[in-house]
Structure 1
Amino acid sequence: MTDSQSAALEIHEITFDAQDPHALADFWAALLEREIRPGDMPQDDSVLVVPTPGQPGLLFLRVPEGKTAKNRIHFDLWPTSTGRDEQIARATALGAMVLDDRRQPNGKGWAVFADPEGNEFCIGRSAAERERT
C-alpha cells in the first residue's frame, strides 16, 4: 500500500463492525469513490472497500449487535477536487445523516455525520478553501 520500506508497521485495513457489511461498504465505496473487492457479495460476512495508493482498505465485518456508543475514533475527510459544501450535500444524498453542522458564515468549519449504521465522520474544507480563509 505504501512506498515506505523503512516502516516497521503500516495500517493495512481499518475494520468496522456492521450489521449489514455489504450495504455499509456500498456507502463508503460511493462516498470515497472506491471499489468493493471483486467477488464480495451481499450475503458475505466480510466486505472490503479496496485500498488506494497511500490509503488503507476499509473492512466491514458482520456482527450481531448494533452500535451502542459514540465512536472513539472517526474519519476527518477533506475534499480534494471539490468544495466542502458539495461533499456535504453528496454525503447526505448517499444516506449520511448530519449530526452537527459546524460551518461558520466566514467559510470555516465542518459538518459531523453518521453513516447508515451510526459511525461518525466529519467533512471539512478543501485545501483551496482553507487557503482562502
Structure 2
Amino acid sequence: MPLHWKLVIDCTDAPALAEFWAAALEYEVEDPSPLIEQLLAAGHLPESAVVHRGGRRLFRGASGIRHPEDPYDATSGVGHGRRLLFQEVPEPKSGKNRLHLDVHSGPAGPDALVARLEALGASRLHEVDKGPAGRWWVMRDPEGNEFCAA
C-alpha cells in the first residue's frame, strides 16, 4: 500500500505563502477553524497558539493547502491527497533549493502562466531554453523559493 505524504516548505510567513501557492496552483487553503474552536473550548489550546487570517483561525506557524478535488477531514481541514504544508522557521532561506516545484501551464500557455504568477507576487530569475526538450522559466515565490514554470 502506498504511503501518504505531504511536501513541507519552510518559510517566515506561513499563511501568506500558503495563500500565494493556493492561488498559483488553484488549490484551497486548509481551514482548521472547526478543530481550533474545539481545542480552544476544551482548554487544550491556548489562544496564543492561534492566528487570525482571512476570517479563519489558523495554528500559529503553519498553514496548509490541498487539491480541491482530493478528500479531506472536515474538522481539521487537512487534505488526504495532494497537499503542501508551510511551516515557519526562525532562520532565513540561504542558498538554492535542493527540491522545487514545476508548475505546468494549461491551455493558455506558459507566457500567460508566468504573467499570472508574477501578478500573484512571484518573480522571474531566468529563462531556460533546451530547444526540442522544452522551455521554462526559473522563478521565485514571494519568500525566494525557486520553482519552474512551463
Q: TM-score range by the shorter chain?
A: 0.7 to 0.9
Distance 1:75 1:56, change over 3 A: same
* Root mean square deviation, CA, Å: 2.3
- Provide the secondary structure at the position in 1 that maps to 2:135: coil
Q: C-alpha distance in 1, partners of 2:85/2:107?
A: 25
Aligned mates of 1:90, 1:105 — CA distance in 2: 24
Give the deviation of 1:101 after TM superposition. 1.9
Look up the match of 1:33.
Answer: 26
1:48 aligned partner: 64
- Computing the radius of gyration over CA atoms, which structure comes out larger, 1 or 2? 2
- Percent of pairs identical after alignment? 38
Tell me, which stretches of 5 or more residues in structure 2 are unaligned?
34-50, 71-80
Instruction: Give structure 1 regions of 4+ aligned residues with deviation exceeding 6 angstroms.
Output: none
Show structure 1 runs of 5+ residues with no match.
1-5, 125-133
TM (norm. structure 1) is 0.76
Counterparts of 1:37-76 in structure 2, within 5 Å, are: 37-38=30-31, 39=33, 41-42=52-53, 44-53=60-69, 56-76=82-102
> Residue type matched to 1:115 in 2?
D
1:102 is displaced (CA, Å) by 2.5
TM-score (norm 2): 0.68
- The total of aligned residue pairs comes to 116
